[in-house]
Amino acid sequence: MQVIRLEALSDNYIFLLYDAEQNIAAVVDPAEAEPVLKQLTQLNAVLVAIFNTHHHGDHVGGNQQLIQKFPQLTVYGGAEDRGRIPGQQVFLQQGDRIQFSSRTAEVIFVPGHTRAHIAYYFPPENLGETGELFCGDTLFAGGCGRLFEGTPTQMVDSLSKIRALPDNTRVWCAHEYTLSNLKFALTVDGDNADLQRRYDEVTVARNHQEATIPSLLGVEKRTNPFLRWEQKALQLAVKSSDPVQTFARIRGMKDKF
Binding site for Fe ion (CB under 5 A): 58, 137
Choose the stretch contacting Zn ion; rule: CB under 5 A; options: 38-46, 84-92, 130-138, 217-225.
130-138
Is residue 137 at the binding interface for Zn ion, with CB under 5 A as the rule? Answer: yes
| Residue 2 burial class via C-beta count within 10 angstroms: exposed 0-12, middle 13-18, buried 19 and up | exposed
Minimum separation from the CB atom of position 202 to Zn ion (A): 22
Is residue 228 at the binding interface for Zn ion, with CB under 5 A as the rule? Answer: no
Minimum separation from the CB atom of position 142 to Zn ion (A): 17
Measured from the Cβ of residue 207, the count of other Cβ atoms closer than 10 Å reads: 9
Is 54 noted as a catalytic residue in this protein?
Answer: yes
Q: List CB contacts of 249: < 8 A, sequence separation 6 or more.
A: 238, 239, 240
Is 175 noted as a catalytic residue in this protein?
Answer: yes
Is 96 noted as a catalytic residue in this protein?
Answer: no
The three-state secondary structure class of 32 is coil
**What is the Rg, in whole angstroms, of the alpha carbon atoms belonging to the chain?**
18
Residue in 55, 81, 96, 175 annotated catalytic: 175
Is residue 29 at the binding interface for Zn ion, with CB under 5 A as the rule? Answer: no
Buried-state track 210-231, b at ≥16 Cβ within 10 A, e below 16: eebbbbbbebbebbbbbbbbeb
Is residue 55 at the binding interface for Zn ion, with CB under 5 A as the rule? Answer: no
Minimum separation from the CB atom of position 174 to Fe ion (A): 5
Residue in 29, 54, 81, 189 annotated catalytic: 54
Is 59 noted as a catalytic residue in this protein?
Answer: yes
* CA atoms of 23 and 35, how far apart (whole Å): 18
Is residue 117 at the binding interface for Zn ion, with CB under 5 A as the rule? Answer: no
Q: Judged by CB under 5 A, how many residues of this single chain contact Zn ion?
A: 2
Considering the complex, state which of residue 81 and residue 137 has its C-beta at the smaller distance from Zn ion. 137
Is 55 noted as a catalytic residue in this protein?
Answer: no
Q: Which residues pair with 215 in a beta bridge?
A: 171
Residues found near Zn ion in the complex (CB under 5 A): 56, 137
